[in-house]
């Protein structure tokens, strides 16, 4: 059983794995860069704590 491209479902190409082509790899990258994909974080994200508002007068 061959793996399928997550973008178009065609068989993958080892040169562009896990995608079938450079086009599909670029589509995936654009989705990440435009915030269509996100990785959910927990409320207590110790590695990247929320920024604090500092009142500057």
Tokens read off for 44: 């207590």
Known binding-site positions = 5, 8, 20, 24
Domain that holds residue 28: 1-36
Asked if the structure places residue 32 within a domain, the reply is yes
The pLDDT, as a whole number, for residue 53 is 61
Known binding-site positions for Zn(2+) = 5, 8, 20, 24
- CATH number of residue 17's parent domain: 3.30.50.10
The pLDDT, as a whole number, for residue 19 is 97
Question: Cα separation of 12 and 3, whole Å?
Answer: 6
Contact by Cβ (8 Å): 7, 28? yes
The pLDDT, as a whole number, for residue 23 is 97
Question: Cα separation of 24 and 16, whole Å?
Answer: 9
The pLDDT, as a whole number, for residue 37 is 87
pLDDT in tens, the chain (57 residues): 579 999 999 999 999 999 999 999 999 999 999 989 888 876 665 666 666 666 655
The pLDDT, as a whole number, for residue 52 is 66
Handedness of CA 4, 14, 32, 28 (dihedral sign): negative
Asked if the structure places residue 52 within a domain, the reply is no
């Amino acid at each position: 059983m061959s793996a399928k491209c997550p973008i178009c479902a065609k068989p993958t190409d080892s040169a562009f794995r896990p995608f079938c082509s450079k086009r599909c790899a670029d589509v995936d990258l654009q989705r990440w860069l435009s915030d269509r994909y996100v990785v959910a974080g927990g409320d207590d994200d110790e590695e990247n704590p929320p920024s604090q508002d500092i009142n500057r007068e």
